[in-house]
Amino acid sequence: MATENRINFWRRNAKVPGRYPKDTKPKFNNLKSKKASSFHEFARSTNDAWDIDEEEDEDFLSTPAPTLSSPSGHHSTSAQDQQIQDDGTETGVSDRLAPPSTEALDFQDVQEEDAEYWEHVNGKVVKSSSDAHLNMSSVCSSLQKQQSLPVRAIIPLVARMSDQNASGAPPMTVREKSRLDKFKQLLASPNTDLEELRKHSWSGIPREVRPITWRLLSGYLPANKERRELVMKRKREEYFGFIEQYYHSRTDEHYKDTYRQIHIDIPRTNPLIPLFQQPAVQEVFERILFIWAIRHPASGYVQGINDLVTPFFVVFLSEFVKDVENSEVAALPLDTQRNIEADSFWCMSKLLDGIQDNYTFAQPGIQNKVKALEELVSRIDEDIHNHFKRYEVEYLQFAFRWMNNLLMRELPLRCTIRLWDTYQAETEGFTHFHLYVCSAFLIEWRKEILSMVDFQGLLMLLQNLPTIHWGNEEVGLLLAEAYRLKYMFADAPSHYKR
């Protein structure tokens, strides 16, 4: 039994940002923890924090969920069927799940099922009759909660992947239209005022102008409007020159291991979003990552870099298709595919130029940032810092991923794109400002962190924070708090040290 519990506890799916046990409401600061009286109870109560299976989604969604094979051979629920609701406003985020299916279990029928069936509750083998009753009551409680929820319109998670208002949104408000007009005016000027563009981009970039704005803010394109087309044409040709020159060497002995690791990691990139499982998209990612790796031998390819391609790819794809999530990339004109690929490569390269020490040998950049986060949090919130010390939680155990992947594993992709609007508008956004965002992100869960009184519970929380329903509003509040922390501490002579 003990062996089985340990196996269940350490089962994880780290590729799903923000999943948490299904009977937890997805609200800000809403987790309620209860200390288990034994490790047996703890392991049983935390199983579905790691597991994502068909049975779980059938409990939550009103539509049966198709499955997608993951690299490990298990079946995972397609993100197209993880549904959330929208209140119809620009920054509205619903905290309710879809109502249960009309085919939900009848409680009387459940009680009359034979014992053999209930030995496999929720697809998990139950060793005793008491365990069976525990699981049955859990299912019933979950269904009762769902049936009490009002029926509301639902929007698929991936339909809002590239923008909070990508689907089912109301007409643009006067304020939104005014902001969009201001962006268009700045972009249409002979020499775009980049400082003014950054100022307006800090609070989010309208979807229509995000692709060109990202190209400008990343430094890929010049501010001079007349030179943009020429520069873009030259850079795209240069990238495909690299493909012709280097890509064939992926099978050479010297680069074989690099290509093999890239080839393994690509299917793991956002595995629950069908767009990234398309062969044409995976080939694009392989080429981008391989060319970048051999042109940067000081670091080469490091796991985590593959995630950094996805926001650029989605944003530049949105320039050519309206329904990004359900588009067939291979059906686009070849020139369009090539342009998206080349632009994604160059913008990702510009980003990595500023954080390359994160990926060199021993990753000193990440080590330094994690240490800076620890010292900053000790100044900002001594209670959290001492709580970690009391239960022997090291910042490196959870914050390494926050720095390595720029919080991409902690947030839905739609939130990452909104976050990167500000990162590209902020001076040293991906380095210096990211530290304050991580601090604000940690403190956001202060109540839940302090309520956890064991090492395992703290790590499970910190590595699986429930952000699956986050949107523009939550990201905006997070950025505002990060800015406040930066304003208070960045100019303090010893803000990292006591």
Q: Judge residue 206's burial from the number of C-beta atoms within 10 Å of its C-beta, 0-12 exposed, 13-18 middle, 19 or more buried.
A: buried
67 has a pLDDT exceeding 80: no
259 has a pLDDT exceeding 80: yes
Residues 385 and 314 in one domain: no
How much is the pLDDT for 298?
87
371 has a pLDDT exceeding 60: yes
Domain of 341?
174-356
Residue 342 near residue 404, CB atoms below 8 Å: no
433 has a pLDDT exceeding 60: yes
Q: Does residue 22 lie in a domain region?
A: no
Residues 343 and 388 in one domain: no
Q: Which of 101-105, 270-274, 451-455 has the highest mean pLDDT?
A: 451-455
Distance CA 359, CA 393 (A): 24
Residue 340 near residue 316, CB atoms below 8 Å: yes
Look-up of token digits 């803010």: 217
Q: In Å, how far are 97, 124, 322 from 146, measured between CA atoms?
A: 8, 22, 33
> Domain end: 356, 385, 413, which one?
356
pTM (two decimals)? 0.69
Q: Higher pLDDT residue, 120 or 455?
A: 455
Q: Does residue 293 lie in a domain region?
A: yes
Mean pLDDT computed over 133-153 = 41
Q: How confident is the model at residue 46 (pLDDT cuts 50, 70, 90)?
A: very low
Mean pLDDT computed over 461-485 = 95
Q: Does residue 160 lie in a domain region?
A: no
Task: Report the CATH number that the domain containing residue 418 is assigned in CATH.
Answer: 1.10.472.80
Residues 210 and 305 in one domain: yes
Q: Does residue 443 lie in a domain region?
A: yes
**Which one-letter DSSP state was computed for residue 189?**
S
Q: Does residue 413 lie in a domain region?
A: yes
Least confident of 152-166, 293-307, 317-331, 346-360: 152-166
Residues 351 and 282 in one domain: yes
Q: Does residue 253 lie in a domain region?
A: yes
Residues 261 and 408 in one domain: no
Token couple for 300: 């080469």
Residues 393 and 447 in one domain: yes
Q: Does residue 76 lie in a domain region?
A: no
Distance CA 481, CA 486 (A): 9
Distance CA 145, CA 390 (A): 36
Residues 304 and 369 in one domain: no
The helix (run of H) or strand (run of E) holding residue 154 is strand 154-156
Q: Does residue 450 lie in a domain region?
A: yes
How much is the pLDDT for 494?
62
Residues 351 and 454 in one domain: no
Residue 70 near residue 77, CB atoms below 8 Å: no
Distance CA 434, CA 70 (A): 31
Distance CA 68, CA 448 (A): 32
> Domain end: 321, 356, 391, which one?
356
Q: How confident is the model at residue 112 (pLDDT cuts 50, 70, 90)?
A: very low
Residues 312 and 202 in one domain: yes
Q: How confident is the model at residue 80 (pLDDT cuts 50, 70, 90)?
A: very low
> Domain end: 299, 325, 356, which one?
356
Whole-number percent of the chain with pLDDT over 90: 57
How much is the pLDDT for 490?
76
Residues 198 and 248 in one domain: yes
How much is the pLDDT for 493?
54
Residues 213 and 316 in one domain: yes
Distance CA 15, CA 3 (A): 25
Q: In Å, how far are 204, 295, 401 from 303, measured between CA atoms?
A: 29, 17, 11
Mean pLDDT computed over 314-327 = 92
Task: Report the CATH number that the domain containing residue 334 is assigned in CATH.
Answer: 1.10.8
Q: What are phi and psi of 278, to 5 degrees?
A: -70, 130
How much is the pLDDT for 172?
77
Residues 184 and 319 in one domain: yes
Q: In Å, how far are 23, 132, 137 from 108, measured between CA atoms?
A: 22, 16, 12
Q: How confident is the model at residue 170 (pLDDT cuts 50, 70, 90)?
A: low
Q: What is the pLDDT of residues 192-206, one digit of tens each?
A: 999 999 999 999 999
Number of folded domains in the chain?
2
